[in-house]
Chain A
């Protein structure tokens, strides 16, 4: 494991490595290839955005890294070890904010602390003290102050997305896997959460893998963007994003930024039309 947090300029150790990894669902004539053989190396502390047409295997990559899915071929190495070898401090936020309905928001957010070491062994003593304060601090940061004792059904969709982000962050993960975490939000809430996520990333420099449909989101947040082809997914384009940090919302309307968006857009449009089977919108 990486002992020293990676810093700019220093050679950064590899956090995530996919080598010759592919995924096929099913077997025989009905087999559906989801991810073509992919090689991808993500250094520690990088903010990588995956963009591409629907159903291109972006989420598949996230599921591989988080060990929810086994590769059909190849290996996935996370934190220097093949996944499934050991529980890792991964923070994950899915598109649907899957809060457990029988727990209050704060208990939901504290869930990773209940599972992951070194917090796990202290959970019983600290769940009503230090850990709860931590959850409340995060809630306040995303604008949900005072909602900790509510149940999930008492919150709106946007509030749940924010809570979801808190749950992904509470155990100070070295690695964040975000699957369209802001998908269902309105533009203004999105932009607000982008800024929160950016400042969190600048503070702690975790490795982030973000799957998104929103090209502005990718450009605003990521330090590197990979464009994927239509199913079976392949990485078509892999380029760094060098806009200075901290980025601001007005920057996303400047010519350089718009040009980046346009280039990404064209790549995805081509990927869609070159798809082997006709893609539906």
Chain B
């Protein structure tokens, strides 16, 4: 058995143990369904309510991806501008750090004030929460490009654009994809957060109304959905990362040192 497969089995085993433990705890302690429902009950609820939940899942995924795509676009542009110029990097960094330190839950009411409740605040929250890791990673990747690599092209008389395109950007790709993974999770968190506060659609909203009706199994079913979606998004972007920037996983053997 390969090491990778064994590792996967261990991870899977831990998940199974977690749920079996949870189930046993509920059965043995006799804790009320209103406090902590059993996993089997949650899954039953999830399956029974799935047709109703499905549009909400799509809504949440839609706002997440919209916010994510916009956040990536904004993050790449900002990161590129900051990364190619040392002065811009030093100038803009404090502002960016300040902006990113604001808890995004505090920003949602402002978005609601401006745009009303609904999809727009969710998209904007997702955007504002996910663009920062992209900016930082793109800027860092560009700013730390080895001058020796750039010299190879400079000596050929390449333009600044050529160098950015052939050295700066490929060199930055590992940083970019690593940040995408993080950013997509952030965007998801942002979207659900905004739905919880101010929306009439989406998984976040379903959770809020379910908890105010004391429908605890449904709340937990929503949590399960969120966990599954979050993992799925992360895995998808990890796979893309591995495909596109496989060269970087051999960092120890990098030649340009």
Contact = CB atoms under 8 A, between A and B. Distances in A.
B166 interface: yes
A101 B255 contact: yes
A67 B148 contact: no
Interface in B182-236: none
A151 B246 CA distance: 11
A100 B156 CA distance: 15
B44 interface: no
B234 to A, nearest CB: 24
Interface in A116-160: 116, 151-153, 160
Interface string A95-122: 0111111110000000110111000000
B13 interface: no
A86 interface: yes
A94 B155 CA distance: 10
A99 B166 CA distance: 12
Nearest to A114: B166
Interface in B230-257: 245, 247-248, 250, 253-257
A153 B250 contact: yes
A177 interface: yes
A101 B247 contact: yes
A100 B167 contact: yes
Contacts of A94: 148, 151-152
Contact of B255 (A99, A111, A112): A99
A152 B173 CA distance: 18
User: Mostly helix, strand, loop or mixed at chain A's interface?
Assistant: loop
B157 A116 contact: yes
Given A87-B158, A115-B162, A153-B255, A98 B173 contact: no
B153 interface: yes
Interface residues of B, number: 26
B154 interface: yes
A99 to B, nearest CB: 5
A67 B155 contact: yes
Interface string A218-242: 0000000000000000000000000
Contacts of A103: 170
A35 interface: no
Nearest to A97: B255
B155 A90 contact: yes
A212 interface: no
Contacts of B247: 101-102, 151, 153
B157 A96 contact: no
B149 interface: yes
A111 B153 contact: yes
Contact of B171 (A92, A102, A152): A102
A102 B166 CA distance: 10
| Shortest beta-carbon contacts, A-B, top 4 | A87-B157, A153-B253, A66-B155, A92-B155
Interface of B: 146, 148-149, 151-158, 162, 166-167, 170-171, 173, 245, 247-248, 250, 253-257
Interface of A: 66-68, 86-88, 90, 92, 94, 96-103, 111-112, 114-116, 151-153, 160, 167, 171, 177
